[in-house]
Homo-oligomer: A and B are copies of this chain.
Amino acid sequence: MTVLDGKKVSNDIKAEIAAEVEKMKANGEKVPHLAAVLVGNDGASLTYVGSKVRSCKRVGFESTLIQMPNTTSELELLKKIEELNENDDIDGFIVQLPLPKQIDTQKVLMAVHPDKDVDGFHPTNFGKMALDMSTFIPATPFGILELIERYGVETQGKHTVVIGRSHIVGRPMSILMGRKGFPGNSTVTLTHSRTKNITQIISQADIVISALGKPKFLKAEMVKDDAVIIDVGITRVPDETKEKGYYITGDVDYENVKKKASYITPVPGGVGPMTIAMLLKNTLLARERHRSRS
């Protein structure tokens, strides 16, 4: 059994990106610049954005954090996005979700210029992904592909079962695993809340990608011998014995499932750390494409 060590791989990727940035600097080139827009002061969002900005600094990117009050109107946010679209110094930017109720999230994501959409949430980029064109792949699915690739997990002809059909994980993963090439060429089944016989379907999977958010949903007796287990679930379970008052767990009953699996991602330390690394990678890509356009 091999642990897919997202912490290690994400550090490798960050080191590779940092080396790229060093080269850019040595050549007197502009370094990648990521902007992040945070509306309101939700604690978790602040933590995520803060961590993205710090990661930028660590690899040598420029970064800009734009904080807007909780009372920001949709129009004000759209104006800010327009500014960022037009600002030639910014290579890519993200709008941290969720947004306050008065703002239409879809309208906001549509307003981000596809060339700067390093989250890969714009329909144009999503469509390019589904049509096998080069684009920005959303960070979490991109991170899973990268783990699969770096560990050489075989995917061709394998049956991949994806649990959960969210726009940011399940649906893109189901598309990506079925595309031509590697990682890909899998036979993919996308399951969700309306799926019947889910245990029967999972029992046939060579690769399980779970993005359900139900702690310890996936038990050892549900999976095939030597299955590949990718756990995208992250749930905070209240626990007074912990300093933070909770612990983090995935969708997988890790201790038991790992005895049957050929590869498995731990939580924390599996898919989670990959997400920021891939956002940085998308920002580097955005810089390179920006340069080749200008």
Contacts and interface: CB of A to CB of B under 8 A. Distances in A.
A96 to B, nearest CB: 19
A287 interface: no
A238 interface: no
Nearest to A106: B133
Contact of A187 (B106, B126, B130, B190): B190
Contacts of A131: 123, 126, 167, 171
A175 interface: yes
A171 to B, nearest CB: 6
A133 B126 CA distance: 12
Contacts of A157: 194-196
A122 interface: yes
A89 B220 CA distance: 62
A275 interface: no
A201 B175 contact: no
A186 B192 CA distance: 9
Contacts of A188: 189-190
28 contacts: A122-B127, A123-B125, A123-B128, A123-B133, A124-B124, A124-B127, A125-B127, A126-B126, A126-B127, A126-B131, A127-B128, A127-B130, A130-B130, A130-B171, A130-B175, A131-B167, A132-B167, A157-B195, A171-B178, A174-B174, A175-B175, A178-B192, A185-B194, A187-B190, A187-B196, A187-B201, A188-B189, A188-B190
Interface of A: 106, 122-133, 156-157, 159, 165, 167, 171, 174-175, 178, 185-192, 194-197, 201
